[in-house]
Amino acid sequence: MKARYLIPLAIFIAMLAFLGVGLTLDPREVPSPLIDKPAPAFRLQTLDAPSRVMTPEDMRGQVWLLNVWASWCGGCREEHPVLVELAKSRAVPIYGLDYKDQPGDARRWLADFGNPYTAIVSDPDGRAGIEYGVYGVPETFVIDKAGVIRYKQIGPITPKALQETILPLVRKLNAA
Amino acid sequence: MLLKFVPPLLLTAMLAPAFAKEAAPAAADPVAEARLMELSSELRCLVCQNQTIADSNAELAVDLRNEIREKIQTGMSDAEIKDFMVARYGDFVLYRPPVKGTTLALWVGPFLLLAVGGGILFFNLRRRRQRDAEPELSRDDQALAESLLHTDTTKETR
């Protein structure tokens, strides 16, 4: 009989547990439907030389990161030192997609903070961003040798995300 | 009395230019714009997650409205445009998610809870009715109880 009165308490504790887990989740992180799908095509001018056009096909045969960034984006500044370090380690080439940005601003930003990118393409009207389902810069895609998206980092790459998720995945994909 | 209506009227007058500005593209093709509004009010803006693409003024929402407008002009159906959005942003972009494995809990959950709640209510009520229906003491039991109540209890405790 006594146990009956504990039921509301048990329900309350279960609810607390659910709410507690909920607090640790980031509702802004919406799982991408593009995981394990071929990287969407784009044909974009590079930031350095508008006469040069790049497509994802150019990166075929290597594991690469596509980092979507912009000079107006606060999270990108936060992320930038991590990318610079990563570029120095030469673990994986980083290609930049300069999202809805002014080329002049982007170049100044890179001159100020360093350029970790192997190459950067400009996406001034954000069309390529839409193809990649970008909704908040920075976002980073890990793309394998066959051109398939294997992982998407939403928001800045933290040192922890890099060490625990991205680099192990890159090593695995490189070994494959 | 009339004064009551003045502030809202003033406000409306003040907002009128703003509305006029928002409505500008509608002049282009009213039918396409109506379709655009209907479609984009079914789609979630991922930047400001509780607004539709129709309502939101986030830059991405503006871009996506333009994208949808273009797709309407090229003759794509509503279903095709929705598929385009889902392929890039996932089911979350739909305000009415499709019924499938991952969304089953969402669709069936409330009914399941209703069934469980209804079940508990049903069994409780039935038990209560059974308890109420139990006969009062039979005549023999009644007599026994009376006699026990009237015997000298002091004798037994001694």
- Across chain A, mean pLDDT equals 94
Alpha carbon of B65: minimum distance to chain A alpha carbons (Å): 12
Task: Please tell me the predicted confidence (pLDDT) of residue B13.
Answer: 53
Specify whether domain A28-175 bears CATH 3.40.30.10.
yes
Token pair for residue A171?
A: 């090593």
**Looking at beta carbons, which residues of chain A come within 8 Å of B49?**
27-28
Domain ranges, residue B117: 103-157
pTM: 0.75
CA B11 from centroid of its chain's CA atoms: 33
Task: Please tell me the predicted confidence (pLDDT) of residue B9.
Answer: 53
Tell me if B90 and A32 make a contact (CB, 8 A cut-off): yes
A41 part of contact set with chain B, CB < 8 Å: no
Of the pLDDT bands very low, low, confident and very high (cuts 50, 70, 90), residue A170 is: very high
Task: Please tell me the predicted confidence (pLDDT) of residue A165.
Answer: 95
Residue of B nearest to A30 (CA): B92
**B24 lies in the same domain as B81:** yes
Q: In what order do the strands lie in the sheet with A119-123?
A: A119-123, A94-99, A64-69, A139-143, A149-154
Task: Among B46, B59, B67, select the one facing A30 at the smallest CB separation.
Answer: B46
**B78 lies in the same domain as B11:** yes
Task: Using the predicted structure, report yes or no on whether residue A161 has a pLDDT greater than 80.
Answer: yes
Task: Please tell me the predicted confidence (pLDDT) of residue A126.
Answer: 93
**B116 lies in the same domain as B64:** no
Token pair for residue A105?
A: 């601003």
A100 part of contact set with chain B, CB < 8 Å: yes
Closest CA to A35 of A144, A170, A162: A144
**B151 lies in the same domain as B83:** no
Task: Please tell me the predicted confidence (pLDDT) of residue B5.
Answer: 57
Task: Among A34, A132, A135, select the one facing B46 at the smallest CB separation.
Answer: A135
**B41 lies in the same domain as B25:** yes
Map residue B145 onto helix, strand or coil: helix
Q: Please tell me whether the interface predicted TM-score (ipTM) of this complex is above 0.85.
A: no
Closest CA to A127 of A43, A52, A35: A43
**B111 lies in the same domain as B145:** yes
A133 part of contact set with chain B, CB < 8 Å: yes
Alpha carbon of A88: minimum distance to chain B alpha carbons (Å): 32
- To the nearest 10°, the Cα dihedral for B48, B52, B53, B59? -20
Element (H, E) at A119: strand A119-123
Task: Among A33, A127, A132, select the one facing B86 at the smallest CB separation.
Answer: A33
**B24 lies in the same domain as B75:** yes
Among B98, B113, B141, the domain boundary falls at B98
Map residue B28 onto helix, strand or coil: coil
Sequence-ordered list of residues with C-beta below 8 angstroms from that of A23, at least 6 positions apart, any chain: none
**B35 lies in the same domain as B108:** no
A 10 A CB-CB count for A23 gives 7
Element (H, E) at B114: helix B104-133
Among B98, B113, B128, the domain boundary falls at B98
Q: How many domains does chain B have?
A: 2
Residue of B nearest to A29 (CA): B46
Among B48, B81, B98, the domain boundary falls at B98
CB A47 within 8 A of CB A101: no
pLDDT tens digits for A51-108? Answer: 999 999 999 999 999 999 999 999 999 999 999 999 999 999 999 999 999 999 999 9
* Main-chain phi, psi angles of A46, to 5 degrees: -80, 155
Tell me if B59 and A34 make a contact (CB, 8 A cut-off): no
Task: Please tell me the predicted confidence (pLDDT) of residue A27.
Answer: 81
Is the backbone peptide bond immediately before A138 cis, with ω within 30 degrees of 0?
yes
**B91 lies in the same domain as B110:** no
Alpha carbon of A90: minimum distance to chain B alpha carbons (Å): 30
User: What average pLDDT does the segment A19-29 reach?
Assistant: 88
Tell me if B59 and A132 make a contact (CB, 8 A cut-off): no
Token pair for residue A64?
A: 């690469």
**B86 lies in the same domain as B108:** no
Which pLDDT tens digits describe chain B residue by residue (158 residues)? 455 555 555 555 555 544 444 444 545 788 889 999 999 999 999 888 889 999 998 999 999 999 999 999 999 999 999 999 999 999 889 998 888 887 888 889 999 999 999 999 999 999 988 888 777 778 888 888 888 888 765 555 54
Q: What is the CATH number of the domain that holds B68?
A: 1.10.8.640
Closest CA to A100 of B63, B52, B48: B63
**B71 lies in the same domain as B133:** no
**B90 lies in the same domain as B119:** no
